[in-house]
């Protein structure tokens, strides 16, 4: 569910934000302190061209949703699930 951008996490968490590029939703993360900073595109580290007004958590990939076992989660350095390391495949 879309939420107002002022409620988005500002701790480096990747979120899905709208609008970022014209009328397109993109994954972004906050760079800076909670009071001062900017939304940036994680693949390029460029500042978003438009100020997003809405956000939502990044949806889980379908392979995670269908095979997810929380007891096998691999966490990143901030205590969040690291979906780049899929413990469900060989």
Q: Which domain holds residue 87?
A: 60-90
Shared-domain flag, residues 9 and 46:
yes
- Identify which has the larger pLDDT, 13 or 83: 13
Shared-domain flag, residues 24 and 52:
yes
Does residue 44 carry a pLDDT above 90?
no
Quote the pLDDT of residue 74. Answer: 59
Strands 24-32 and 37-41: antiparallel
Q: Where are the strands (E) in the chain, listed by range?
A: 3-4, 15-21, 24-32, 37-41, 46-47, 54-57
Shared-domain flag, residues 15 and 47:
yes
Shared-domain flag, residues 27 and 38:
yes
Spell out the residues 6+ positions from residue 51 whose beta carbon is closer than 8 angstroms to its own: 5, 39
Shared-domain flag, residues 15 and 51:
yes
- Average pLDDT on 21-42 reads 88
Hey, what long-range contacts does 69-78 have (CB within 8 A, 24 or more apart)? 78/11, 78/12, 78/13
Does residue 33 carry a pLDDT above 90?
no
């Amino acid at each position: 569910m879309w939420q107002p951008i002022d409620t988005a996490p500002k701790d480096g968490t990747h979120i899905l934000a709208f609008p970022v590029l014209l009328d397109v939703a993109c994954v972004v993360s906050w760079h800076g302190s909670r009071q001062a900073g900017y939304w940036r595109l994680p693949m390029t580290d460029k500042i978003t061209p438009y100020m997003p007004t809405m956000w939502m958590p990044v949806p889980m990939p379908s392979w995670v949703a269908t095979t997810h076992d929380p007891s096998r989660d691999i966490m990143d350095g901030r205590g969040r699930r690291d979906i780049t390391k899929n413990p469900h495949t060989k």
